[in-house]
Amino acid sequence: MRQLTLPSGHAMPVFGLGTWRMGEHLDRFQDETDLIRGALDLGITLIDTAEMYGEGGAEEVIGEAIRGRRDDLFLVSKFYPHNASRSGVVEACERSLQRLKCDCIDLYLLHWPGGIPLEQTFAGLQALQESGKIRDYGVSNFDLHDLRAIPEAYRDRLGGNQVFYNLAHREPEWAVADWCRQRGTPLMAYSPLDQGGELLKSSVIAKVAENHGASPAQIALAWLLHQPETVVIPKSARLKRIEDNLAALDIELSAGDLQDLDSAFPAPQRAVRLGMR
Q: What is the pLDDT of residues 1-18, one digit of tens each?
A: 899 999 999 999 999 999
One DSSP character per residue, 179-229 reads: HHHHTT--EEEESTT-TTSSGGG-HHHHHHHHHHT--HHHHHHHHHHHSTT
Q: Are 14 and 232 within 8 A, CB to CB?
A: yes
Task: Return the bridge partners of 232, or none.
Answer: 15, 189
Q: At what angle do helices 216-226 and 239-246 cross, to 10 degrees?
A: 50
Give the integer Cα–Cα distance in Å for 232 and 159.
15
For 113-130, how does the pLDDT look when each residue is reduced to its tens digit (9 = 90+)?
A: 999 999 999 999 999 999
Q: Grade residue 154 by pLDDT with cuts at 50, 70 and 90.
A: very high
Task: Return the bridge partners of 12, or none.
Answer: 4
- Per-residue confidence (pLDDT) for residue 159, from 0 to 100: 98
Q: Catalytic site residue 154?
A: no
Dihedral (C-alpha) 145, 150, 151, 154: value to the nearest 10 degrees? -130
In the CATH scheme, what architecture does the domain 3-264 have? Alpha-Beta Barrel (3.20)
* For the chain, domain boundaries: 3-264
The one catalytic residue in 53, 108, 137, 165 is 53
For 177-188, how does the pLDDT look when each residue is reduced to its tens digit (9 = 90+)?
A: 999 999 999 999
Q: Are 267 and 173 within 8 A, CB to CB?
A: yes
Q: Grade residue 98 by pLDDT with cuts at 50, 70 and 90.
A: very high
Give the integer Cα–Cα distance in Å for 231 and 228.
9
